[in-house]
Amino acid sequence: MSAVPPTSNPSTETPFTRALLAGALAGTTVDLSLYPIDTLKTRLQSSAGLAASGGFRGIYAGVGSALIGSAPGAALFFVTYEGFKAQLQAFRSGQDQQPNRSIGENEDWKAPIDHMLAASAGEIAACAVRVPTEVIKQRAQAAQQPSSVAVLRFILAQRSKIGVFGVWREMYRGWGITIMREVPFTAIQFPLWESMKAWRRRTTARNEVSAVESGVFGSIAGAVAAGLTTPLDVIKTRMMLAAEKQAVVPLVVDIWRTGGSRAFLAGIGPRIMWISAGGAIFLGTYQWAFNSITGVST
């Protein structure tokens, strides 16, 4: 598979621009491709249940907010991820040049740590965009309002009762639990993905992996991370769908009391399916765009 030949376009020569463009394309592609599965997952996790939340009807409800938020959210993630990773690698490279360094000391274990830290920073940055769009999207998916616009209007209409700050808090409801879900997820997914890519580069003696290879590795890493973080996703979904703001601990107790341990695994099948496929599309598209922009042949 061959990427587009190198160009001299200065607008795409910086790492920032490459991550920005590739991330935006990847985010939009995966969100639109797998939106129906995401809707079913949200409805399964809703306290009202699948049928009461709309069943299999209107599976594209709320797609407007996802469309608006996917590109900037993914772009912000990859800009932060690639930038943070480069800074950590530069720091380690500087340490390696110190004269008192032990010759031959194995540094392989530090790369996954760099990827964990960079991915965590990327998720925290992306949540500035992702959380409001998730709140609107999931309420539309759960049939609380007929569309994303209706959800947004409903939230904004509460300004007279709760004030501007209250509206802001409503838009960012679930921020904390979203961070608690996304950071462990990416701390699992991205080191796995980067490790598999590094292994493939070593075995093929190539500078970079292809989009297909990146997609396969992204699918595997995403499936593992999705399964392990499903309980956090259930808590996040219940919090965003609740009629009133709830604290995490009472919510967890209520989920346990009403549904037992199985309630924390609600929607695990669609979640693994969605994120496994999403990992393939997201990281495959990102790799394709990144390779094309940089002119890398694979």
Confidence of residue 8 (pLDDT cuts 50, 70, 90): very low
Q: What is the pLDDT of residue 104?
A: 43
Q: Which residue did the predictor score with more confidence, 94 or 53? A: 53
Residue 150: how many other CB atoms lie within 10 Å: 16
Q: Which residue did the predictor score with more confidence, 120 or 138? A: 120
Around 113, how many Cα atoms within 13 Å sit in the side-chain half-sphere? Answer: 7
User: Which residue, 117, 231, 127, 120, is CA-closest to 174?
Assistant: 127
Confidence of residue 54 (pLDDT cuts 50, 70, 90): confident
Least confidently predicted of 10-19, 98-107, 141-150, 195-204: 98-107
Q: What is the pLDDT of residue 210?
A: 95
Q: What is the pLDDT of residue 7?
A: 47
pTM: 0.73
Confidence of residue 5 (pLDDT cuts 50, 70, 90): very low
Q: Quick one: average pLDDT of 220-228? A: 95
Q: What is the pLDDT of residue 252?
A: 92
Q: What is the pLDDT of residue 97?
A: 57
Compute and round to an integer the Cα radius of gyration of the chain.
21
d(CA 185, CA 294): 28
d(CA 61, CA 146): 7
d(CA 84, CA 16): 11
Average predicted confidence (pLDDT) for the chain: 85
